[in-house]
Amino acid sequence: MVLKTCKRIAAAAGLLTLSAGQSVWAALPTPVAPSTAPAAGDWVALIKGYIKDGGLVLGLAIAVLGFLWIAYLGFAKFNEARKGKAEWAEVGVLGIVGAIVMIFASYLLTEAAGVI
């Protein structure tokens, strides 16, 4: 038991020695510039660009969640109609209203991307 512990400590110390000999600064990839492409050294514009891109991604994530919610409701209503608990017309109305909501949400996202 003690021998295994000593071997583990020796192995950890050996790995630490090997890693300490190599360069600490790894070759990291360059970060992707925001879509606004600010001038070099303009930190405020860079931060604004990242905030804009983050807002667009957040808006798209909310739209995807809305799409998934409408799809879930559509499947649930379809299942209810199959069991006879709901009318088939309700499934059709939900599909039409869900499509209108998603088209409207896409329009709002497109307009917001231009404003931000």
Tokens of 78: 């379809």
Check residue 9 and give its pLDDT.
80
The contacts of residue 22 (CB under 8 Å, 6+ apart) are none
> 90 falls in which pLDDT band (50, 70, 90)?
very high
Residue 30 lies in a domain: no
Check residue 71 and give its pLDDT.
93
pTM to 2 decimals? Answer: 0.61
Q: Where are the alpha helices (DSSP H) in 1-116?
A: 2-21, 43-83, 88-115
Q: What are phi and psi of 24, to 5 degrees?
A: -75, -35
Q: Which residue has the tokens 């069991």?
A: 83
Check residue 28 and give its pLDDT.
75
Residue type, 80: E
Residue 1 lies in a domain: no
Check: CB of residue 77 under 8 Å from CB of residue 91: yes
Q: Which of 41-50, 54-63, 96-105 has the highest mean pLDDT?
A: 96-105
Residue 39 lies in a domain: yes
> 93 falls in which pLDDT band (50, 70, 90)?
very high
Residue 5 lies in a domain: no
Residue 14 lies in a domain: no
> 16 falls in which pLDDT band (50, 70, 90)?
low
Give the number of domains in the chain.
1
Residues of the chain above pLDDT 90, percent: 32
Residue 52 lies in a domain: yes
Spatial distance between the Cα atoms of 73 and 82, rounded to a whole number of angstroms: 14
Q: Which residue has the tokens 């070759």?
A: 27
Crossing angle of helices 88-115 and 43-83, rounded to 10°:
180
Tell me the residue range of the domain where 72 lies: 35-115
Residue 47 lies in a domain: yes
Residue 43 lies in a domain: yes
